[in-house]
A and B are shown apart, each in its own frame.
Chain A
Amino acid sequence: AQTVTQSQPEMSVQEAETVTLSCTYDTSENNYYLFWYKQPPSRQMILVIRQEAYKQQNATENRFSVNFQKAAKSFSLKISDSQLGDTAMYFCAFMIWGSGGSNYKLTFGKGTLLTVNP
């Protein structure tokens, strides 16, 4: 079974600064996807960024980037130039890769509440 751990229940950052959210996971699988989802106060789940485990290059999406360390089973999210609209709960998630098997079941961490202060 897969587990996802987010060790920071809450974090805060000043507007325009950079913040890093941590995530570790445990799996015996070799091929998988990792995700960061954002859940603002509206509670809508929004996909922020996705990383394929077989890719060594870290994924980036505008101000969002990840630091993927496969051997350490670590997947942190860096938010640059933080904006007030980034205030949200952030969830790290895992999905097995490949046809067949549970390649649809997302496993989530408990989340990190990020507050961006003006």
Chain B
Amino acid sequence: NAGVMQNPRHLVRRRGQEARLRCSPMKGHSHVYWYRQLPEEGLKFMVYLQKENIIDESGMPKERFSAEFPKEGPSILRIQQVVRGDSAAYFCASSPPFTRGRTYNEQFFGPGTRLTVL
């Protein structure tokens, strides 16, 4: 059972370009979470998605950032018109569906995408 896949592992963009980060969850997982790790910081929650639905995007910057998790294919984190401050490692995690009465679902992390904005 393959783990969470993220690609690319490294992405270099110039200021003003767009960045697209992809995340394929583990087989059977329908929940995806994106976290951002700025230099010298811990991971910070950005967004929680289920298939075709954004459940919680409270950690997403209001502008330039968007996320989707279509019915088919990977989840995409899209950053438009990147700036130097967007340079960070972006981690995706996935979990199986919540079941009735279950209060915890382990999140399995991918290896991250390191975005560098020149």
**Chain A residues engaging chain B, CB cutoff 8 angstroms:** 4, 33, 42-47, 50, 52, 91, 93, 95, 97-99, 102-111
Contact = CB atoms under 8 A, between A and B. Distances in A.
Nearest to B112: A43
A22 B35 CA distance: 23
7 contacts: A44-B111, A45-B109, A46-B109, A99-B98, A106-B35, A106-B43, A106-B45
Contacts of B59: 105
A107 B102 CA distance: 20
A98 B33 contact: no
Contacts, number: 61
B69 interface: no
A68 to B, nearest CB: 16
Given A102-B56, A104-B95, A43 B44 contact: no
A50 B89 CA distance: 24
B35, B43, B101 — most chain A CB neighbours (10 Å): B43
Contacts of B42: 4, 91, 93, 108-111
Interface of B: 31, 33, 35, 40-45, 48, 56, 59, 89, 91, 93, 95, 98, 101-107, 109-112, 114
Contacts of A99: 98, 101-103
Contacts of B44: 108
Contacts of A4: 42
Contacts of A102: 56
B104 A33 contact: yes
Contacts of B110: 44
Contacts of B98: 99
A109 B37 CA distance: 11
A45 B106 contact: no
A93 B89 CA distance: 18
